[in-house]
Amino acid sequence: MRVLRLFTAIENRIFDILYARKFLTRKTPAIQHGCKDTVSTDWYSLVSIFKLIEVDKSEVLIDIGCGLGRVLIFWSKKYPSNRIVGYELNPIVFRECKNILTKKAEIYCRNVLLEEKIYGDLFFLFNPFGEKELLKFTKKIIQSNKKFKIVYFYPVHIDALSTLKKEILIEIIVIKSRVRAIHQKVVVITKK
Ligand SMILES: C[S@@+](CC[C@H](N)C(=O)[O-])C[C@H]1O[C@@H](n2cnc3c(N)ncnc32)[C@H](O)[C@@H]1O
């Protein structure tokens, strides 16, 4: 198992260097300032998830809690015509991300939960929130958009959305790779 995770770690670093010219798996200076560190989604998971999800050229893609920007970099390559946006709460991580990113993606240092409305078509979440925040965020997305997709990777708090069953559809995708020891759930949330 450990050897297989090592394979994923090496794979992540190779793609980081190829696409970002920096490792996006390292500890950020944020932890030296008492903030929580950020964790990036594996490249393999990103490729697998977005093989299964249809994205139209007109869609605005938003990474909620973009960390060091791996998702934004991946989208910039895969969807060069789309508008790509990242929000990051932690100012230290945000600055690091800004240094890494090309001009293609827009990023903002903001707490998304304080935004009155959040407009977009596809929202990617890799556990930026706890249960209460996830519920608050999802309600805000429902209020702000007629149509949307929330791609919730590693959905540990999905039960928090049970009260919204009448308003949303939840589809579960499983990403598997034996050689990488990956068996991960992804939830796609859409409006009913
Ligand atoms: C697990 S990391 C995911 C990084 C990136 N999305 C990825 O998948 O590679 C979650 C990030 O969400 C950020 N975050 C947490 N709460 C947030 C909020 N309310 N607004 C914006 N960003 C937030 C954290 O600082 C952290 O960098």
CA dist list (Å): 63 to 72, 120, 183: 7, 10, 22
Smallest CA separation from ligand 1 atom 11, residue:
65
Q: 128 CA distance to ligand 1 centroid (A)?
A: 4
Residue 3: pLDDT over 80: no
Pairing of strands 182-191, 149-153: antiparallel
Mean confidence (pLDDT) of the chain? 92
Token pair in block for residue 6: 């090592």
* Interval 76-107: pLDDT, tens: 999 999 999 999 999 999 999 999 887 789 99
Residue 28: pLDDT over 90: no
- The structural domain count of the chain equals 1
* Interval 118-147: pLDDT, tens: 999 999 999 999 999 999 999 999 999 999
| Probe residue for ligand 1, chosen from 44, 62, 64 as the CB with the greatest number of ligand atoms within 8 Å | 64
Q: Which domain holds residue 74?
A: 2-191
Residue 34 banded pLDDT, cuts 50, 70, 90: low
- Looking from the CA of residue 93, the nearest atom of ligand 1 is 27
Q: What is the CATH number of the domain that holds 131?
A: 3.40.50.150
Smallest CA separation from ligand 1 atom 19, residue:
111
